[in-house]
Structure 1
Amino acid sequence: MASSSTQTLALQTDSSALNCFKEKLMAKIFRFYDEQSLTDVTFKVSNPTAHVPAHRLILAAASPYFENLFKGNKGNKPIIEINDIDSDIFERLITFCYTGQALITVTNVGAMLKAAIRLQLDDAITRCVEYLMAHIDEYTLHDAYMLERETRCEILKRKFIEYEIKNFMEISQSDEFLNFDVERLQRILESDNLNITREEDAFDAINRWFNYDVPAREEQLPLLIACLRLTQFDADFLLTHIQPLPGCELLAFKALSWISKPEARTKINMRFAEPRAVICEKTLLALCCVETWMNPTLLQYNKAEDKWQEYASINCDYKWYRTILKDDNILFTGGEKKDDETTSNIVRSWNIRNKTWQDLPAMKQARRSHCVVELNGKIYAIGGFDGKKSLSTVERYTTSDGWEFVSSLNDRRYNASAVTLNGKIYIMGGRNSGVPLKSVECYNPDSNTWTSCADMTECHWLHGVAVHKGHIYVVGCFSGNGTVERYDPQQNTWSKICSLEVGRGIIACASLDNKLWAIFFSVSGNKISVSVYNEENDRWEQKCAFPGHFVLSCYVVPVALLK
């Protein structure tokens, strides 16, 4: 008989022959299974009742569950009952033991994962987790988190945390985020790869989590604040936002000392003194057009050179549509057709990377001059005009349920503006049957209700709006006054800040690099002007302008997306 060392040498010198032998052997074994030949055990499985024949040796080699089963007294029986796994799922996993493959779908992945864990099929568990993460948008975050809690699958938890780090901005706005335990949140916030544009994003997320259950989380708050890169905040932010938090006074003091006394930094024990290794650099994209709105141009802002350049021309024969940035796509919703000027319910997605169109399910109601926002991964189309009258209807889109109506607005309105903040939707201004509005409404998705908020100080329509540092900013333009108002959601109050000298036209706003940007068409110069708000001096500072006409929308996108 050959020794083990001789066998190893033979295997090393003829690995191709060995692989060929293994392939033939496995093909033969699977044929035996397929033909139900030479089987020596049968499983009786319920729901519906089915008999699944197999080979003990193969199953024992594939799983410690079957190995222990066949070694025990129960394993000697020719028929073994399995009562806690559906027959279809069980048969798929038995096939996996022979082939290493199984048909996994969005509808069965949860049951497959639970059964794979029950049968101790590690490779099948990995396949299920990989499939789930690849189809997470179809499966929905809520169901995925439910599955993780039910299975307590460590592989799934680890993959989820990787996903949460990569998609932190979206996850932190979800309802599931509010129920994260402190250990999970710590693991996410500690990561150098946390995908945020600025450290304030992580602070805002902690604040939202904390305010959801203040009494129960007060003691845990300092653990999370300590995960922030506190040295990246300025002194004013530390004194205003960090120091007043319960248990965080010392953290704020150490960070202030580190910032103000560089010579003493070696003596200050800061857990995270350096900025995160990976901060996703972002820039602006502006969707611009002539008065007809058709065939818009997408312009990219180069921050380093303070200039705008054309990124793409988009072939679009609609007008009065509304757009939103969704992942790597710009969604065009509704609008008015070019040929017959009828209002449409069409929804199309234009991919920024590939510059290609894709049709999506149409809205239930045709609308133009409406508002469209994203909240917790769901797209909302709000109000607008149907060609005859102002609308108050609101509908919501998910990949699983398509478009469905939710509660309507209290006031009909079109050419309004809307944003999301603190898990709610705010819509403000617009017109109702031609009458300008200064009213504001807030939508709570938990109760599916719209409630009135404090009115703006002036009426605005086709105005710019952006969320910036926990406040909502409204910049009037089409009304011709250039008034800028700021809304405090905690106090439910509006206040005016420095006005912006703008001409009559459409304006877009965005928050980038911790600054508020306004992009608008200047009639006098026949160009698109760009201004950045200086909060310390309460004034607007001019940036690079560029030839053009109306700016329809403005998006903050990763620079890497445009390469």
Structure 2
Amino acid sequence: MSSDSSINHSTASNTSRPSPRSVTNMSSDSSINYSTGSNRSSPRMVTCKGSVCSINDSASKTNSLSFKRKSESAESDLDMFCPSSYNFAIPDKDLNENTKKENSDPAIEQTQDNVSHYNNLGEYISQKYQRHEICDICFKLGDTLYPAHKLVLASQSTLFADVFERESFSNTPVAPKVIKVRGVSEEALVSFLDFLYTGKMDINSVCLSDVFKLAAVFKVDQIKRLCVRKVEQLKCQDLLQLLPTMAKLKESGICELIIRKITHNFLEVKEDPEFFNLDLDTLCMILASDNVNVRSEFEIFAAAVSWIQHHDFDQRIHHIEKLMNCVRFTLMTSQELFLCFKKFPVLKQNKNCVNMITTANWYIFL
């Protein structure tokens, strides 16, 4: 899915009769459409979980420099001086320099020279960065400055390339520019800059969202790809913390990946403390997904009720109708529909919620 696809939360009425739905695999090129309501095209995925270095000695015998002790019975003029003398056998690969030059390939040598040249250049620039030398730009986070080089920034970021390449050469000394950064941790900024100079970055789950913010703002696609690979390795608790940030950044591709992992492990996720700290929109995004892996639709209803009752009840109860629109009551049995009122009597005070459940009960007998 491309990063510019949109996330659409619709709250369709739950009163219309739904048509049968087929479960389809979501590809990375599809857009995210999280509709809330019963009139959707495919049933949820429902599953039952109740009955629920050796060393090869032969290699050492062929070392490039091998020696063997002469037999005691062997006759040699050296035996009288050194009865335990050794013969050293020099392998064929240790040729003289002239022979090497005759057999070498000029193209290979040129490639090796080029690689060596760029390695030396990279090491030099990295040293200047570590020593804060010859820097012509810096990032500022709080009261701390982080010196850098325009050339390096422009080579890794399309945004910086567009800005710096427009500047014309001037003999007049110019003070280093300052790029002010807010809303990210120091660890994230340092990791971001280190990657620009070394191409390596060990991202932890704590600063992943901040690193992704920096990569998104300054348009460093390679870091964004690293973040996506890291997301695939995260635990559910970390994914719950990351999803709201990715949704605010409108990164629909990475949001789809996170939601797919969360909904696949929904029975575990709904018990995690971070689940109850989700904001309303993020929670609806999860509950409305077609791929929530549950044993019954009643578990979706129960998860929504638990979120309301966990804390800030007086505030969250106002969102009851929006949350109930994420529940597909038409997939419940008559007994489960009755249990909805029994488990959460407050539903009876909302006419629209009562209408959703009553209509779903009628649908069962059609």
Q: Give the structure with the larger helix fraction.
A: 2
Q: TM-score scaled by structure 1? A: 0.34
Which structure ranks higher in relative contact order (CA pairs < 8 Å, sequence separation ≥ 6)? 2
Q: Compare the two structures and name the one with the higher strand fraction.
A: 1
What is the TM-score normalised by the length of structure 2? 0.50
Who wins on radius of gyration, i.e. which is larger?
A: 2
